């Protein structure tokens, strides 16, 4: 998987969190991706895997959706 900000440590965290393919990433919300990643990162005590934030998670989801030929994720309107 080649995504911005994904090194070997990040890839291992993502794989162990069940996020090791584009299909898994494409179906998530930004909040869910950050939650699953952070939980596994802490469980693994992986110092070489930086914390994920909402901006990075959104990039990962968008890239996965583009790779799969899917449209932009649905975004709730701001009220």
Give the global pTM. 0.80
Judge contact between 8 and 39, C-beta under 8 A. no
60 contacts 3 by C-beta, under 8 angstroms: yes
Please list the alpha-helical segments (H only) found in 1-79.
Answer: 8-16, 22-26, 30-44, 54-67
pLDDT in tens, 17-30: 999 899 999 999 99
Q: Is 57 left (phi over 0), alpha (psi -120 to 50) or beta?
A: alpha
pLDDT tens, position by position, 27-67: 999 999 999 999 999 998 877 888 888 998 998 899 899 99
For 39, list phi and psi in degrees, rounded to 5: -60, -45
């Amino acid at each position: 998987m080649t995504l911005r900000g994904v090194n070997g440590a990040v890839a291992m965290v993502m794989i162990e969190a069940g996020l090791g393919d584009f299909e898994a990433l494409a179906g998530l919300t930004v909040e869910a991706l950050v939650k699953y990643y952070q939980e596994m990162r802490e469980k693994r005590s992986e110092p070489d895997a930086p914390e994920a934030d909402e901006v990075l998670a959104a990039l990962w989801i968008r890239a996965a959706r583009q790779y799969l030929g899917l449209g932009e994720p649905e975004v709730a309107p701001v009220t």
